Amino acid sequence: MRLRFFLALVCLAAAIAVGVARPWNADGASASAVEAQSSLRPGGFVVVVRNGSREAVRLAQVTVDDAFVGFHATRLVLAPHETAQLTIDYAWVKGEPYEIGVLTSTGEIVQSDVGGAGEG
Amino acid sequence: MPLTRITRRSALAAAASIVGSGAVARLAGVRTGTAFAAPGAAPTAGMDMGAMPMRSGFAEGRTTVDPRANGFDPMKILRDFDWGKTRRLASGRVLREWEIVAYDKEIEVVPGVKLTAWTYNGRVPGPTLRCRQGEALRIRFVNAGSHPHTMHFHSIHRDVVDGVPGIGRGLIDVGDRFVYELDAEPFGLHLYHCHAEPLAEHISKGLYGMFIVDPKHGRADADELVMVQNAFDSIFEGDNNIYAVNTVAFHFFYHPIRVKRDSLVRIYLLNIVELDPINSFHVHGNFFHRFPTGTSLEPSEYTDTIIQGQAQRDILELRFPYTGTYMFHAHKTEFAELGWMGMFEVV
């Protein structure tokens, strides 16, 4: 009886793990090794994105504080270990924090924070 | 201080690789090259944007999604009414019939971002089913998707065709089919959607559409526009991050809706956004008459902004007295700047 309960628990845990981890995209690869670092520049931001995963990553969109924004990118497709520099024009306010999101082609987001007290 | 955070979905992927579950192979598998395309060009697999300086995003670069790649066009959805096929029964009553097939499909919801949607007839929103009050309706539903689905109509009908699990036929299994039979009552602007559980997922992945029942004597001639306010949660955080009317973010911002000055414009407006409690609609430079749910021929309000909860819908009627370009958008500005923004071009 105890073994049966244990097996049921294991099955449930596995089902939850598979269920919640399933991406929308059939080819949805992990972007967990994709990193972003953002900094202030006069009149905007600079974001450096590094692809630390073993697969190519395609950058699609950028948001600042939940709003899509235009951006310049040195590249949009990042092979493993490649980096891209994104330049965003933005009228930031000294001392205020900003959250920058980089959306990949599969809908994943790599977020970084910039600004806030002590910066700018 | 600069800081990197990974969204929940990515964190789950990382966790899955530790656990070693069946999902690992998918998540850690080789990503096939999806395309970035130039404006107006069909996506081309493997197109290399390499080290070229690029400009993209909301304001510049590729601002549109190729309707051919998606298989549907938000602009055409505006004026696309599916009247089905009709024949007259022995009683003299009109029988109107449709076939609706549910299946999975990858769609691009903002330039460069593709998601796997669950669709009715391969489009999001599903076809706008239109009929006249009092007709007999027959909807032949085929489930060619990957999960059990249903069709639940907002109308007056018997419980056995309610499209709810456990009542009547309930869930329609993968590969199975069912015929929903109901009466076209009451007249107004309604909707249909999948009622399988979990509800939020089945709806937010795309299983919904508009259902219009015209009053027996019709409405005044007008330029009629279907606007389904929808949204997508691409990262499974229980929070939408892409908003639109008719699925593609900013589509009508870059492709204004052309209407004629002084002509009657009738907007069928539905809010089907899951995960957010309310949505709204605001038009610039004008006011409109509001007909809540379209079930009365008398407007309830003359305004330029309305709020809608989930599944709430309104018919809006207006005439533009001046030519020019007029914005319309959700007045929840977060939604607007994440895609729910468009333009009327009055000529």
What's the mean per-residue pLDDT of chain B?
85
- Token pair in block for residue A6: 């244990």
**Please, what is the angle between helix A2-21 and helix B8-19, to 10°?**
140
Beta bridge partners of B54: A73
9-68 of A, contacting B, C-beta below 8 A? 14, 17-18, 20-32, 34-39, 54-63, 66-68
Dihedral sign from CA coordinates of B48, B52, B57, B62: negative
Give pLDDT tens digits for B297-327: 999 999 999 999 999 999 999 999 999 999 9
CA-nearest residue of chain A to B48?
A77
State mean pLDDT over A31-38: 83
Find where tokens 């994943």 sit.
Answer: A108
> B57 vs A17: CB contact, 8 Å cut-off?
no
CA distance A111 to A35: 8
Give pLDDT tens digits for B36-66: 222 222 222 223 333 333 333 443 456 778 8
Q: Is the ipTM of this complex over 0.90?
A: no
Helix, strand, or coil (residue A25): coil
pLDDT of the residue at B296: 97
User: How many residues are listed for chain B in this entry?
Assistant: 347
> B6 vs A61: CB contact, 8 Å cut-off?
no
194-213 of B, contacting A, C-beta below 8 A? 205
B289 within 8 A of B267, measured Cβ to Cβ: no
Give pLDDT tens digits for A54-102: 999 999 999 999 899 989 899 999 999 999 999 999 999 999 999 999 9
H helix intervals, B233-273: 251-254
CA dihedral B73, B78, B164, B177 (to 10 degrees): -50
Give pLDDT tens digits for B106-153: 999 999 899 999 999 999 999 999 999 999 999 999 999 999 999 999
H helix intervals, chain B: 8-19, 23-28, 67-70, 74-78, 199-204, 251-254, 333-337
- Residue A41 dihedral angles phi and psi, to the nearest 5°: -140, 160
Q: How far is B21 from chain A (nearest CA, A)?
A: 7
**A85 inside 8 A of chain B by CB:** no
What's the mean per-residue pLDDT of chain A?
79
CA distance B248 to B237: 20
pLDDT at B233 over 80: yes
CA-nearest residue of chain A to B32?
A27
**For B21, which of A14, A101, A116 is closest by C-beta distance?**
A14
CA distance B103 to B205: 11
